[in-house]
Structure 1
Amino acid sequence: MDHTEQIKRLKENIGSVLVGKEKQTRWLLTALLARGHVLLEDVPGTGKTMLAKSLAQSVEAKYHRVQFTPDLLPSDLLGLNYYNQKEGIFTFKEGPVFSNILLADEINRATPRTQSSLLECMEEQQVTVDGKTYMLEAPFFVIATQNPIETVGTFPLPEAQLDRFLMKFSLGNTKAEEEMEVIKRFLYGNPFQKLEPVCETEEILVLQKEVQEVFLHEELMEYIVKIVMATRTHKQIFTGVSTRGTLALVRAAKALAYVNGRRFVTPEEIKELAVPVLAHRISLQKGEGRRRPETVMEEILEGIPVPTEDWSH
């Protein structure tokens, strides 16, 4: 099957459950194909969990959902060695992290120790327990959620953890006509329960490999560098985007071009993804508390001329 047809089927499958979230669905698939992870930050009831579950249901993959709480231990997530009395040996019992798609629900409710146990998994796709390393099966995709308003009893993600997420974005509220469509769609049942897989994990691995071959023009590399350097010299930004962030934007732009049906990147992909890929990687100066990193990133983008060229070669 042609890759554009596979991606179209995934979009349509997820779109049969969620209304008006085409952009967020496109970004979610972009992160998956770029071998990245996503942090969804929004108030309850906007569809964060449903988006993650719909993707998992659309791909014939191993899926686990973990509700993060203050008493969640790293071993609850990664697994642990237990003594098998029948065989007289210690046996490793895998935790929910041994999956293809992991939904870390309300990740900021877990303690920093439990949060940090995800770092190795997300960056190196492996788990180390009691000195022994276990490889995670590819593809490995983490979708984490958090509520930005309710902060009582939460532990904000440190910068090192945030930097592991390829993208951070919200779903936002639906428009009036979209809200009507939601009512009609859920009036006589839940469409999610009828969702069938339209893609296998092996196909996702092929798509991920093909994304790496997407062409990026040198002028667009320079455009990305200008955006990143602007975050490092901006007077309102205390910490700018790191080199990891630069490479994250490159990977994401290539994946989005692929999702859009092309084998080469355009400036539009870079501009579309700069905020969800880079904004959570910057920290603002003290005294800029009322400003949002997303707003500052948008201002930076407006100040950098968008290059024009034939980007296919």
Structure 2
Amino acid sequence: MAAFNLTPSESLTFILIGIPGLEAAHVWISIPIFMMYIIGLLGNFTLLFVVGHEQTLHKPMYLLLCMLALIEIETTTSVVPQTLCILWFNWKGITMEGCLTQMFFFHTGSMTHSGILVTMAFDRYVAICNPLRYTIILSNARLAKLGLLVLMRAVLIYLPMPLLLWRLPFCANRIIRNTYCDHISLVKLSCGDITVNSLYGLLIGFIVSGFDLMFIALSYSLIIKAVLMSSKKAHQKALNTCTAHVSVMLMSYPPAYISIMTHRFGQGMAPHVHIILANLYFLLPPLLNPIVYGVKNKELRDKVGKYTRRR
């Protein structure tokens, strides 16, 4: 009968159990998570430091990289410290307010990340297809407005999520089989009507993200069309300037959709596989993105090298 007791949302405490089935290995699992988090922070803070101190890097492409770095720091920091507390100290309790706050910052950061990738695709389109007007179309002031627009879009779209969850009644079973609070896990614990919450989550996950992917695909189709009409030398230059962005997208979108699909439709999959995939989704991009851009971009690589040699 306890499973049917409804509890007001404001008095709730949830239990995050970490990685189910692998509790004995929590300490060992925490080591790669901690290392990936620290290396990702160092890489992104290094990027911010170098671009901030080098006037010659105050260009749209590098400013977009800084926006991406800031969002990746925010997204991982909203989740990883809580995860490490569970794995190291067995601190599993989290209040309803804390859970909704973590969920909001994580999901908002993820959508902002997607919006910045769209803006980066537009940046590459203008740089290749309309290079003479590049600095006019994408001035630093206009880029700042685009960044603010991307952030506001994410906030306004995800703000209803915690509000919709707050109105739901929850059962006595408040165990979240995850290392952090996410929308799907909380919805599954409710004893009320979750139709609106589920539909809203699906709309965001597929329609909004699908729109972002369509815009990126459109940008790259126009880039390919322009490249095919140009010289072989221009082919190589365009390829070099787009490779890093394409690599970042491949590290961001497939893990995100795999994580969403396994959570919603992968009932036959082992629970610990769900959780490990979800953790890789927000750990890998912040770790690899600074490396990818550092390797692919000679100007940025030279500036980073200047500071490391000075040290």
TM-score (norm 1): 0.22
Structure index of larger Rg? 2
TM-score (norm 2): 0.22
- Compare the two structures and name the one with the higher strand fraction: 1
- Compare the two structures and name the one with the higher helix fraction: 2
